[in-house]
Amino acid sequence: MTRWRLLIDDSADAATGLATDEALMLPYGRTARSEYAATLRLYSYRSHAALVGRFQSLDGEIDLAVAARHGIDVGRRPTGGGAIVMGEDQLGVAVATRAPAASTPRALLARYADGIIAGLATLGIAAESAGKNDLQVGGRKIAGLGLHVDERGALLFHASVLADLNVDLMLDVLKIPGAKLADKPAERVQQRITTVAEQLGRPVPVSEVRAAVAAGFRSALGVELQPDEPSADECDRRDSLVRDRYAKDAWTQQRTHLRDAHGTALLKTPEGLARIYVATHGATIKSAFVTGDFNTLPDELVALEAQLRWTPATPSAVTAAVHDTVDDDALGVSPNVLAAAVWEATERALGVAGGAHPVRPSGSCYFPDGDARPAIRSTTSTNEAELV
């Protein structure tokens, strides 16, 4: 049986938590040697830390004044993905190992996600992979995943598992325009995410989720987990990374030359008036959000939001996402009509940004890559539209 290390850590601050993961991956480069095949770290942040993905704009994703008022740490991950609020109710999962030469990033995400899926299954929760990097339960997100491979071939897998979540705090700290402009924003967010506590119908300490995830990695990946502590060398590397990178403004506040922008469109449907929000970063769809005066958001539209994240901001990509997720009768309009409205909002966002080149993915972690399909026309059936 393959031997892995198991490290447990709680109440990390943003800089130290992120630096620890990078320090753990350094011994796994091509020219390095490690006694263990991998290191699994299961940890939590002190409440709270707001973290953005590697390629995101800090002030574009986090309300820094609100974060300061709440005493919330901010940090930038080495992995991609979106902004998230972490704390005592979220389990951080990190795997540090050597990247297999023949595996794709998607295959690696799936491999380590299997450990989390198996762990949740021991609690009676049936999770599955969905979208680009989400784990969902009944179409609602319960965990987000990320991956980073450095130039030496060392790999870091990141995941955040929602044991619970303070939705109001998240909405206060993160900039999610579509959610904040919706009627009853917290209720709309809760249609898109779930937690271990909600699934089990009781409060669940992160320690219980941690034990379940550890068991899941043992069974799904067939590994032996050896409890351990960071070595003195790893602690020295961690402290150096805190000092020289993760606690420095040059890392946390670095900026991309591409602009974030938002566009909206309104679509009249038999089910009610739908408002579609699209955020872009360069020529990539960063996030999408559908709301309206209907009582319940159809599951297909929640799936569409997840499918649109991190896709190229092009008519063909929008069309493909709609046809992959939406049936003919969603909201009582055809997929082509819905796709045209989504593209209208996307095109408006691109117009605000002035056009740009495609970039790596971004977007909030809470708003979760065939066949020939009809193309979108340049006009749409919406009767009203606006820019935000």
304 & 222 share domain: no
What is the Cα–Cα distance from 15 to 251, expressed in whole angstroms?
A: 11
CB 15 within 8 A of CB 321: no
231 & 339 share domain: no
At 362 the pLDDT is 39
* Residue corresponding to tokens 């040697």: 33
- Of 252, 287, 311, which marks where a domain is finished? 252
- The Cβ-side half-sphere exposure at 43, using a 13 Å CA radius, reads 23
What is the Cα–Cα distance from 217 to 117, expressed in whole angstroms?
A: 9
206 & 233 share domain: yes
- Of 223, 252, 281, which marks where a domain is finished? 252
247's CB contacts (< 8 A; 6+ apart) are: 15
146 & 82 share domain: yes
270 & 239 share domain: no
Residue range 170-210, pLDDT digits in tens = 999 998 765 544 556 777 778 889 999 999 999 999 999 99
83 & 220 share domain: yes
What is the Cα–Cα distance from 135 to 320, expressed in whole angstroms?
A: 21
* Strand intervals (E) in 109-201: 128-130, 134-137, 140-149, 154-162
191 & 269 share domain: no
144 & 291 share domain: no
Bridge partners (DSSP) of residue 332 are: none
CB 297 within 8 A of CB 188: yes
At 201 the pLDDT is 98
What is the Cα–Cα distance from 57 to 110, expressed in whole angstroms?
A: 27
* Other C-beta atoms lying within 10 Å of the C-beta of residue 2: 10
What is the Cα–Cα distance from 168 to 30, expressed in whole angstroms?
A: 44
How many angstroms separate the Cα of 202 from the Cα of each of 32, 91, 250, 265? Answer: 45, 17, 42, 40
At 375 the pLDDT is 33
* Other C-beta atoms lying within 10 Å of the C-beta of residue 53: 24
216 & 315 share domain: no
CATH number of the domain that 190 lies in? 3.30.930.10
At 313 the pLDDT is 93
What is the Cα–Cα distance from 279 to 263, expressed in whole angstroms?
A: 7
30 & 136 share domain: yes
191 & 270 share domain: no
What is the Cα–Cα distance from 351 to 261, expressed in whole angstroms?
A: 9
User: What tokens does 48 get?
Assistant: 């709270």
CATH number of the domain that 363 lies in? 3.30.390.50
At 182 the pLDDT is 55
- Of 217, 232, 252, which marks where a domain is finished? 252
Q: For 279, phi and psi rounded to 5 degrees? A: -110, 135
Total structural domains in the chain? 2
At 280 the pLDDT is 87
* Residue corresponding to tokens 């609690």: 123
At 153 the pLDDT is 86
What is the Cα–Cα distance from 374 to 372, expressed in whole angstroms?
A: 7
Residue range 43-75, pLDDT digits in tens = 999 999 999 988 788 888 899 999 999 999 999
At 16 the pLDDT is 97
31 & 148 share domain: yes
Pairing of strands 84-86, 140-149: unpaired
CB 49 within 8 A of CB 14: yes
Residue 388 CA, chain-centre distance (Å), reads 24
What range defines the domain where residue 242 resides? 2-252
pLDDT in tens, the chain (388 residues): 799 999 999 999 999 999 999 999 988 987 667 789 999 999 999 999 999 988 788 888 899 999 999 999 999 998 777 789 999 999 999 999 998 877 888 889 999 999 999 999 999 999 999 877 889 999 899 999 988 888 888 999 999 999 999 999 999 999 876 554 455 677 777 888 999 999 999 999 999 999 999 999 999 999 999 999 999 999 999 999 999 999 999 999 887 656 678 888 888 888 778 889 898 878 888 888 887 766 667 788 888 888 898 789 999 999 999 999 988 767 788 999 999 999 999 999 898 655 443 333 334 443 333 233 333 333 332 222 222 2
User: What tokens does 33 get?
Assistant: 């040697």
